[in-house]
Amino acid sequence: MSMSPGRRKLVLAAHIMVSVGWLGAVAAYLGLAVAAVVTPDAETVRAAWIAMELTGWFVIVPLALASLLTGLVNAVGTPWGLFRHYWVLFKLLLTVFATAILLQHMPTVSAIARVVTETESAHLLPAGVRSDLVHAGGALLVLLVTAILAVYKPQGLTRYGWRKQHEQRTLSQP
């Protein structure tokens, strides 16, 4: 299955926009997570967690799913394929992993947001409860790696890609 050049550009543009948006949204989320930990002010802790919950559900989750979907369409609809090149395969696995962790983690974010909004002294909650730095930092790291893979496209065919390339060369020879 191969897309026309115009459609390919459209899907690629969409994939870049939602993926960069996902990266930016996670960076903003990390900023809020840092604020929630370092501030001595209970109102700031509450505000940060409310913003983290809303950003997570209404920005990060949709962008993650859109990035995964447009990435799949982009790979399947172009000669890159999904399983031919190691960099595409790595990017797919990292995106699926990050999205799965995100979907599994967001109910926890909602639960913490509820706790801090109902607790009078939110700033006195243990740092372990107020902190989401590991998840946010890990997500940012994974997304930076996927962005680097997309830009550099390091060489390397999978065994499947090697076989397919040979088949295509054989078919194209007269």
Partner 1 sequence: MADPPPYPGAPRWVKVSGIAVGGMILLAVILMIAGVGGPHGPGRHMTGTDTPGDRAPPGGGHR
Residues in contact with partner 1 by CB under 8 A are 50, 53-54, 57-58, 86, 90, 107-108, 110-115, 117-118, 128-129, 134, 154-156, 158-159, 162-163, 166-167, 170
Task: Identify whether the C-beta of residue 95 lies closer than 8 Å to the C-beta of residue 68.
Answer: yes
Shortest Cβ 125–partner 1 spacing (Å): 9
Helix, strand or coil, per DSSP, at residue 114 = helix
Shortest Cβ 15–partner 1 spacing (Å): 22
d(CA 27, CA 20): 11
Shortest Cβ 67–partner 1 spacing (Å): 19
Closer residue to partner 1 in complex, CB, 9/166:
166
Closer residue to partner 1 in complex, CB, 63/113:
113
The structure tokens 């088949």 sit at: 167
d(CA 99, CA 69): 11
Task: Identify whether the C-beta of residue 46 lies closer than 8 Å to the C-beta of residue 84.
Answer: no
Shortest Cβ 59–partner 1 spacing (Å): 12
Closer residue to partner 1 in complex, CB, 15/132:
132
